[in-house]
Structure 1
Amino acid sequence: MSDARIEHVNITVTDPRRSADLMHDLFGWDVRWQGASQLGGETIHVGSETDYLALYTNEATQAADPRFSKGKPLNHVGVVVDDLDAVERKVIAAGLEPFSHGDYEPGRRFYFFDWNGIEFEVVSYA
């Protein structure tokens, strides 16, 4: 058995603050760090003490630069929650649309796209 784990995933978004606020509202995640990126632009790290999403943007991203196209090759980001129904209500309240509900082993799930076209899978094993 390996001790390896995913520490973070870095995704490009148009508005890191808006995305961080959504992650906080949906999952209770807090901002761990925010500031200038080494490559220019801004980054906000939002998550838990042990893992997080790095939400990155720069002027080219905000101008829809094709170098930062969304969804390729990323398929989705999976997040485990205790109360799937409560999170789905929050997704809807944020103006986003849940889809592809599934109730099969090993858990219940649904998906949604954020404002950046990034797909999230929300799953509960409870």
Structure 2
Amino acid sequence: MASPALEHINFTSSDPYRFARKLCQIFDWKIRWHGLSKNQGTTVHVGTDDLYLAIYTPGGDVTERLDSYSSKGGLNHVGILVDDLDTIEQRVLKAGYETHSHQTYDPGSRFYFHNEDGVEFEVVSYQ
């Protein structure tokens, strides 16, 4: 049996198709699946053949939430490993997001951005 591996992360979005398309442009990912989901909602799976993000929206309104870092069970950020940090940052900026918290320390470099719904993404490179 292979070692356990993270396959996907599921989070709620106000517009999963819009965000999935942006992720495809930024990271050269693909939409693996999309369709009806829990509570008359919609889910879009976007990523690679090996792993993906499941971006969900419920059938009704999406409500605001408290800051994830101070909320029990909050999703604090999603880390995405890339080879070329500078190229990906330019794509993130072109997609309309602001980058912040640039850091370099052993073993790599990183920056962060928030999507339209406030989900934070850490983009990291160990190159």
Length-normalised TM-score, structure 1: 0.89
Q: What CA distance in whole angstroms lies between the structure 2 residues aligned with 1:64 and 1:35?
A: 18
* 1:1-126 equivalent positions in 2, closer than 5 A: 3-60=3-60, 63-65=61-63, 69=65, 71=68, 72=71, 73-126=74-127
Q: Which amino acid aligns with 2:94?
A: A
- Report how many aligned residue pairs link the two structures: 121
Question: Displacement of 1:78 after TM fit?
Answer: 0.1
Q: What CA distance in whole angstroms lies between the structure 2 residues aligned with 1:24 and 1:95?
A: 14
| Root-mean-square deviation (Å) | 1.5
The one-character-per-residue Cα deviations of 1:44-68 (angstroms, maximum 9, x if unpaired) are 00011111000000243xx3335xx
Q: Which amino acid aligns with 2:49?
A: E
Q: What CA distance in whole angstroms lies between the structure 1 residues aligned with 2:57 and 2:62?
A: 11
Secondary structure of 1:39's aligned partner: helix
Any stretches of 5+ residues in structure 1 without a counterpart? none
Identity of aligned residues (%): 46
Q: What CA distance in whole angstroms lies between the structure 2 residues aligned with 1:117 and 1:45?
A: 19
